[in-house]
Amino acid sequence: DAGVIQSPRHEVTEMGQEVTLRCKPISGHDYLFWYRQTMMRGLELLIYFNNNVPIDDSGMPEDRFSAKMPNASFSTLKIQPSEPRDSAVYFCASSPGQGRTDTQYFGPGTRLTVL
Protein backbone atom coordinates (compact mmCIF):
# COMPACT_ATOMS: atom_id res chain seq x y z
CA ASP A 1 0.00 0.00 0.00
CA ALA A 2 1.35 3.42 -0.93
CA GLY A 3 0.03 5.09 2.19
CA VAL A 4 -1.47 8.55 2.29
CA ILE A 5 -0.16 10.70 -0.53
CA GLN A 6 0.10 14.47 -0.34
CA SER A 7 1.15 17.06 -2.88
CA PRO A 8 2.98 19.26 -3.17
CA ARG A 9 5.56 18.45 -0.52
CA HIS A 10 6.67 22.05 -0.36
CA GLU A 11 4.89 25.22 -1.37
CA VAL A 12 6.21 28.74 -1.24
CA THR A 13 3.83 31.51 -2.17
CA GLU A 14 3.25 35.18 -1.64
CA MET A 15 0.66 36.70 0.63
CA GLY A 16 -2.70 37.02 -1.09
CA GLN A 17 -2.21 34.07 -3.42
CA GLU A 18 -4.46 31.04 -3.49
CA VAL A 19 -2.95 27.79 -2.25
CA THR A 20 -4.35 24.33 -2.89
CA LEU A 21 -3.09 21.28 -1.03
CA ARG A 22 -3.99 17.79 -2.20
CA CYS A 23 -4.42 14.45 -0.53
CA LYS A 24 -5.07 10.89 -1.61
CA PRO A 25 -6.11 8.70 1.34
CA ILE A 26 -5.38 5.01 1.73
CA SER A 27 -7.73 3.00 -0.46
CA GLY A 28 -10.71 1.66 1.48
CA HIS A 29 -10.45 4.15 4.31
CA ASP A 30 -13.70 5.91 5.14
CA TYR A 31 -12.31 8.84 7.11
CA LEU A 32 -10.03 11.64 6.01
CA PHE A 33 -8.53 14.29 8.26
CA TRP A 34 -6.69 17.56 7.65
CA TYR A 35 -4.27 18.79 10.33
CA ARG A 36 -1.99 21.77 10.69
CA GLN A 37 1.24 21.65 12.68
CA THR A 38 3.14 24.68 13.92
CA MET A 39 5.73 25.20 16.59
CA MET A 40 3.36 27.57 18.34
CA ARG A 41 0.21 25.44 18.44
CA GLY A 42 1.36 21.89 17.84
CA LEU A 43 -0.86 19.53 15.85
CA GLU A 44 -4.37 20.90 15.23
CA LEU A 45 -7.29 19.14 13.57
CA LEU A 46 -8.84 21.39 10.95
CA ILE A 47 -11.60 19.25 9.45
CA TYR A 48 -12.52 15.64 8.84
CA PHE A 49 -14.70 13.75 6.39
CA ASN A 50 -16.62 10.49 6.58
CA ASN A 51 -17.46 8.89 3.24
CA ASN A 52 -16.65 12.18 1.51
CA VAL A 53 -18.99 14.21 3.72
CA PRO A 54 -17.54 16.90 6.04
CA ILE A 55 -18.38 15.95 9.60
CA ASP A 56 -16.59 18.49 11.75
CA ASP A 57 -14.97 21.67 10.48
CA SER A 58 -14.79 23.43 13.83
CA GLY A 59 -11.01 23.56 13.58
CA MET A 60 -10.95 25.53 10.35
CA PRO A 61 -9.42 28.88 11.31
CA GLU A 62 -11.57 31.16 9.22
CA ASP A 63 -13.42 31.54 5.98
CA ARG A 64 -10.20 31.77 4.02
CA PHE A 65 -9.87 28.01 4.53
CA SER A 66 -12.03 25.52 2.68
CA ALA A 67 -11.82 21.76 2.14
CA LYS A 68 -13.53 19.43 -0.28
CA MET A 69 -13.65 15.73 -0.91
CA PRO A 70 -15.23 15.14 -4.32
CA ASN A 71 -14.63 11.38 -4.19
CA ALA A 72 -13.25 8.67 -1.95
CA SER A 73 -9.72 9.00 -3.30
CA PHE A 74 -9.13 12.73 -3.34
CA SER A 75 -9.40 15.76 -1.08
CA THR A 76 -8.22 19.35 -1.27
CA LEU A 77 -7.54 22.03 1.31
CA LYS A 78 -7.62 25.52 -0.12
CA ILE A 79 -6.48 28.79 1.40
CA GLN A 80 -7.62 31.95 -0.33
CA PRO A 81 -6.15 34.48 0.20
CA SER A 82 -3.10 33.12 1.98
CA GLU A 83 -1.38 35.04 4.79
CA PRO A 84 2.07 34.66 6.39
CA ARG A 85 0.48 33.24 9.57
CA ASP A 86 -0.79 30.31 7.50
CA SER A 87 2.80 29.08 7.19
CA ALA A 88 2.85 25.60 8.68
CA VAL A 89 3.06 21.94 7.80
CA TYR A 90 -0.30 20.57 6.70
CA PHE A 91 -0.96 16.87 7.15
CA CYS A 92 -3.62 14.67 5.72
CA ALA A 93 -4.52 11.42 7.49
CA SER A 94 -7.00 8.63 6.86
CA SER A 95 -8.51 5.88 8.96
CA PRO A 96 -10.55 2.78 8.09
CA GLY A 97 -13.60 3.50 10.24
CA GLN A 98 -16.55 1.10 10.26
CA GLY A 99 -15.50 -0.17 13.66
CA ARG A 100 -12.32 -1.72 12.31
CA THR A 101 -9.86 0.62 13.95
CA ASP A 102 -9.62 4.26 14.86
CA THR A 103 -5.95 4.45 13.99
CA GLN A 104 -5.15 7.36 11.72
CA TYR A 105 -2.38 7.05 9.18
CA PHE A 106 -0.62 10.25 8.21
CA GLY A 107 0.82 11.46 4.95
CA PRO A 108 4.25 13.09 4.68
CA GLY A 109 2.81 16.59 4.89
CA THR A 110 2.99 19.76 2.83
CA ARG A 111 5.27 22.47 4.15
CA LEU A 112 3.65 25.79 3.29
CA THR A 113 5.55 29.05 3.45
CA VAL A 114 3.66 32.27 2.80
CA LEU A 115 5.92 35.25 2.27
Partner 1 sequence: GESVGLHLPTLSVQEGDNSIINCAYSNSASDYFIWYKQESGKGPQFIIDIRSNMDKRQGQRVTVLLNKTVKHLSLQIAATQPGDSAVYFCAENTQGAQKLVFGQGTRLTINP
- The 20-59 site mask, x for binding partner 1 (CB under 8 A), equals -----------x-x----xxxxxx-x--x-x----xx---
Judged by DSSP in three states, 86 sits in helix
Q: Report in angstroms how near the CB of residue 107 gets to partner 1 at its nearest.
A: 5
DSSP 42: E
Render the burial of 50-85: b for 16+ CB within 10 Å, e for the rest. Answer: eeeebeeeeebeeeebebebeebeebebebeebeee
**Residue 100: CB partners within 8 Å, gap ≥ 6?**
none
Q: For partner 1, which residue of 7, 22, 73, 106 counts as binding (CB under 8 A)? A: 106
Q: Report in angstroms how near the CB of residue 64 gets to partner 1 at its nearest.
A: 19
Interface contacts to partner 1, rule CB under 8 A: 4, 31, 33, 38-43, 45, 48, 50, 55-56, 91, 93, 95, 97, 101-109
